[in-house]
């Protein structure tokens, strides 16, 4: 699927990790990962499509301007707009369901029998899920609350209003307040993302900003 979307294996690779991400040193060396669940084939596919959006943005940088500021990404909000454009605008559309179903049926014939239609797949991709403590498993209705929770904690940490030791408890409290659920442990709570351990404070709002940009870019592309 990543190859069908345009990912170039001569300039990158796809591997498996606990948390999907995209990195690399250069547009000719773009490395992305996804994760897979035995009980949910679409989790890995949607993760791969999201990361493919990041990878295509990197691989598409103009080689004529290599090493110059103009060749850099236009901020992480725009980077996220590219991943979310492919994930939400394209991969969750009816035409993509028509494209995807034969591929799924070929690889997973028991999970996608002949009586299942592309409309069934489209509806499954766009279902409103049960509220999840995991950000990357949230649907589009509850996802912004995951971002708001993280932003408020980051803001408190940066402003000195929250101590690091208090983050797990504040996380659980806010998750209960905003979504009515609580993580079983810190792995499902404040340690579930790679961002803070990588020093990426302030990154989370780029997902929501990117989602808003993706909608506008896709709307302009259709005109």
d(CA 86, CA 81): 9
The residue annotated as part of the active site, out of 10, 51, 137, 177, is: 51
Whose structure tokens read 């949910």?
40
Catalytic annotation present for 51: yes
φ, ψ of residue 27 in degrees (nearest 5): -55, -20
Contact between residue 85 and residue 53 where contact means Cβ atoms under 8 Å apart = yes
Task: Tell me which residue of 108, 112, 117, 51 sits closest to 84, measured CA to CA.
Answer: 51
**What's 90's DSSP letter?**
I
Which residues partner with 24 through β-bridges?
30
Contact between residue 132 and residue 141 where contact means Cβ atoms under 8 Å apart = no
Contacts of residue 214, Cβ cutoff 8 Å, sequence gap at least 6: 80, 81, 82, 84, 85, 88, 89
Active-site amino acid positions: 51
């Amino acid at each position: 699927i990543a190859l069908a979307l345009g990912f170039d294996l001569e300039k990158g690779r796809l591997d498996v990790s606990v948390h999907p991400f995209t990195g690399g040193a250069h547009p000719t060396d773009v490395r992305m990962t996804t994760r897979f669940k035995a009980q949910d084939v679409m989790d890995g596919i949607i993760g791969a499509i999201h990361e493919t959006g990041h990878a295509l943005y990197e691989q598409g940088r103009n080689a004529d301007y290599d090493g110059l500021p103009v060749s850099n990404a236009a901020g992480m909000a725009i980077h996220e707009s590219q991943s979310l454009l492919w994930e939400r605008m394209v991969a969750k559309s009816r035409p993509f369901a028509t494209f995807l179903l034969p591929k799924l049926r070929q690889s997973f014939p028991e999970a996608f029998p002949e009586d299942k239609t592309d409309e069934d797949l489209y509806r499954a991709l766009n279902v409103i899920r049960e509220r999840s403590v995991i950000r990357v498993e949230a649907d589009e209705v509850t996802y912004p609350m995951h971002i708001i929770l993280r932003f408020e904690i980051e803001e408190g940490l940066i402003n000195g209003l929250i101590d690091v030791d208090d983050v797990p408890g504040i996380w659980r409290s806010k998750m209960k307040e905003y979504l009515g659920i609580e993580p079983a442990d810190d792995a499902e709570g404040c340690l579930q993302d790679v961002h803070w351990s990588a020093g990426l404070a302030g990154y989370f709002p780029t997902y929501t900003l990117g989602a808003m940009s993706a909608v506008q870019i896709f709307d302009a592309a259709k005109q």
